[in-house]
Each structure stands twice: as structure tokens, then as C-alpha cells.
Amino acid sequence: MLDSMTKTVLTTCRRIVVKVGSSLVTNQGAGLDLDALGNWARQIAALNGRGYEVVLVSSGAIAEGMQRLGWNTRPVAIHELQAAAAVGQMGLVQAYESCFRKHDLHAAQVLLTHADLADRERYLNARATLTTLLQLRVIPIINENDTVVTDEIKFGDNDTLGALVTNLIDADALVILTDQSGLYTADPRKDPSATLVATATAGDAQLESMAGGAGSAIGRGGMLTKILAAKRAAHSGAHTVIASGHEPDVLLRLFQGASIGTLLTAPALPLAARKQWLAGHLQVAGRLVLDDGAIRALRVDGKSLLPIGVKQVVGEFQRGAVVACVSEQGADIARGLVNYNSDEAGRIAGHASSEITTLLGYGGDTEIIHRDNLVLL
């Protein structure tokens, strides 16, 4: 039953976020494990060659910095953690770039904070950068920007970051690799009767009661952070696998349908979850008045909203705001995330997409609202 479900769920995924914990990329505090990094690069390169888009969220910067600085125990002082992260990032990105170059792939370092993903403008900029890198077949290596932000270091929450990135790029699956086999009904180190949870629904409250305990001496995340990350990833319809990174070829086998670790399925399809979120916005930042042709394109043809179909822009809003699309008679047609602020939208309204660069003085999206960010009412 599980094999069948795994094949159905994971083998249809194409955009994947993989999170590897500190214990899987370091020699237990003795700096980076270059053989381990080479193993992840090999598997990700193989998936890339099969048409998968893979983003890697990697821990290890602080552990590498500790080794370079000659520190044997993880410091407590925030400024020392920030210093270790700054030093360690150099080694982490150099090592990954070297590993991926062996497979004729480039890696790109992207440092994010939770604030980057909370601010809508920065959110859209990060999204555009990551999707462009994927289109270029570059492997984004993501870590928290520990050198300037204290909250992320304090909570050691790369599991949550992995989920946020999953939401950010509309990934189909989040794979959290750890030194544990998956989620157990109880702590197997304390309860010999504990059994592995093979599959469950992300967000099930019972999962949180099963999870608990702190992370390793190098990493700070426990199983609870992974369960909560799966719950967050499910908000955009992504499935999550929590599995042991010590399993041979774990990534390759997972996406060939093997049942490894714990599979937490999202209760809704990706677009369904995203559009449900959009439809739930009772307050909108502004309105776009559409002509009959644009309404027909949205309702009948399932198209994106282009500037030429907008007759009027009402209200003031920023790029990424939720706006209402209405008919000339005021009837609600749709809601969506707008790609331009109100001033820009007003200047390009009624014009062909090919005129955007001339009208604004710079290029931008061809759509005012992409169909993936739009829900019909």
C-alpha cells in the first residue's frame, strides 16, 4: 500500500526542495564531510539530468566555522555564532561548488532570513531569483543568513526554512534528510515498542504529540520542527518526506517510488491550496476593471490577465498585493496576486505586453496577474 502511494505521490513531483541537516554534511563537528557533500551533489545531479528541479537547503556553516576557528563546542553567545557562520559559509559554498562542477553544474549561494519571506516585495524578488536559477539548471544552495539575524540561529530552524522555500517556489515536495529513520510513534531510544510512521497526513495533530526531543550537539532541530515544517509545506500543497540521509542513494530511490522514512501527504493539491488561500482574502488592496475580452480569457480559456484587458486601476497597492478583478458593471470576477504596483499597472493598462518596457522604462512580467496566482470567483 505504501509503495503504491509513494509511487503515485513522489514520482509525479518535478520541483523538489531537499534539506540536509548538519549531521549529514559534517564530520560530527570536525568540519565539512567532503565525501558526503559529493554524494549529495551526485544524487542531485542525477535528478537534474532526469528533468527534476532541485533546491538544496543545507546546514553546516556554523559547524564548518567552528572547525576553522578551532572551537570544539558550539558557542552560546550570538556574536560568536554569527562569526562562526560567516567563516563557515566560505567553506560550505566552496565545497558545494566544487562538487557540482564535477557534474558540469553550477551552484549558487542564496542566503535568506525569515524577514525576506515575510515581506511581500522581497518574497517576490527571492522567488524570481530562484525560479530563474532553476531555469538555468543552476543548483541553489540555500542557508539562513545567520551572520546578520539572531532569531534563526537561536532556534536552529533550517527545517522551517526548507518549508518556507517550498512554499516560495511552489515546490511539489520537501525532503527532510536527517540522522533518524523518520517519525516514530514514540522516541525509539526510550521506548522499544515504538514503530515507524510510514505515512500520514501533514498537519495531523497526533503527529506533533509523537514528535519531540532536541537535536544533536551540532544541529539544533528536533523531530518536532520537521513535523511543523511538513505542516507548513502542506499549505501550498507540497508533500514531505522525513528520511535518513544515511540510506544509500536515498534521493534517487525516493523519486523512483521506494518507500523510505515517513511520507506526510498534503491534504490538497498545490494549486487548490494556493487558490483557496487567495479566495479567502476578504480584504483586497485594490481593483482592476476588466473588459469583456479579458473576462472571457480568464473564465473560458483559463488564461493569465494581460495588461491589454485592464480598463481601469482603482486604489493604491504594491507589487504582490491581493487585488480584485471586476467587470465594468462591478461584478466580482477573480482575485489574484498582482505583478505590478498600482502606478505601474495604471501606466500599462490597456496596452500590449510588448509595450511594457517602453512604457515603464524597464522590463517586467508579461502578465499583470499570472493564472497560477489567480482564482475565479
Note whether 60 and 67 are within 8 A (CB): no
Rounded to whole angstroms, how far apart are CA atoms 268 and 172?
Answer: 12
**Topology annotation, domain 2-270:** Carbamate kinase (3.40.1160)
Per-residue confidence (pLDDT) for residue 325, from 0 to 100: 97
Determine how many CB atoms are found less than 10 A away from the CB of residue 30: 13
Query: What values do phi and psi take at 201, rounded to 5?
Result: -95, 130
CA distances from 190 to 148, 174, 213 (A): 38, 28, 11
Domain borders along the chain are 2-270, 280-376
Cα 283–Cα 281–Cα 333 angle in degrees, nearest 5:
90
Cα 257–Cα 233–Cα 260 angle in degrees, nearest 5:
25
Per-residue confidence (pLDDT) for residue 269, from 0 to 100: 67
Rounded to whole angstroms, how far apart are CA atoms 349 and 331?
Answer: 19
Query: What residues contact residue 214 under an 8 Å CB cut-off, 6+ apart?
Result: 220, 222
135-139 CB contacts, 8 Å cutoff, 24+ apart: 136/106, 137/48, 137/105, 137/106, 138/105, 138/106, 138/107, 138/108, 139/41, 139/44, 139/48, 139/54, 139/55, 139/56, 139/96, 139/100, 139/105, 139/106, 139/107, 139/108
Q: Alpha carbon 180 to chain centroid distance?
A: 22
The model carries a pTM of 0.75
Per-residue confidence (pLDDT) for residue 214, from 0 to 100: 42
Render 237-273 in DSSP notation, one character per residue: T-EEEEEETTSTTHHHHHTTT---SEEEE-SS-HHHH
Among the listed residues 142, 145, 46, the one whose alpha carbon sits nearest the alpha carbon of residue 103: 46
Q: Helical H runs in the chain?
A: 2-10, 34-49, 61-69, 78-101, 114-118, 120-135, 151-155, 158-168, 205-210, 223-233, 250-254, 270-279, 292-299, 342-348, 356-360
**Topology annotation, domain 280-376:** 2.30.130
> Hey, is 14 helix, strand or coil?
coil
User: How does pLDDT run along the chain (377 residues), one tens digit per residue?
Assistant: 455 565 567 888 999 999 998 889 988 767 899 999 999 999 999 999 999 999 999 988 888 999 899 998 888 888 898 899 899 999 999 999 999 999 999 999 999 876 677 666 777 789 889 999 999 999 999 988 877 765 544 434 689 889 989 988 989 999 999 988 999 988 777 888 889 999 999 988 888 888 864 444 434 448 888 999 999 888 888 999 999 999 999 999 999 989 999 999 998 666 666 676 666 666 788 999 999 999 999 999 999 999 999 999 999 999 988 899 999 999 999 999 999 999 999 999 999 999 999 999 998 899 999 998 898 98
Determine how many CB atoms are found less than 10 A away from the CB of residue 102: 11
CA distances from 302 to 169, 295, 375 (A): 21, 10, 10
Per-residue confidence (pLDDT) for residue 168, from 0 to 100: 87
CA torsion 99→103→105→110, rounded to 10°? -30
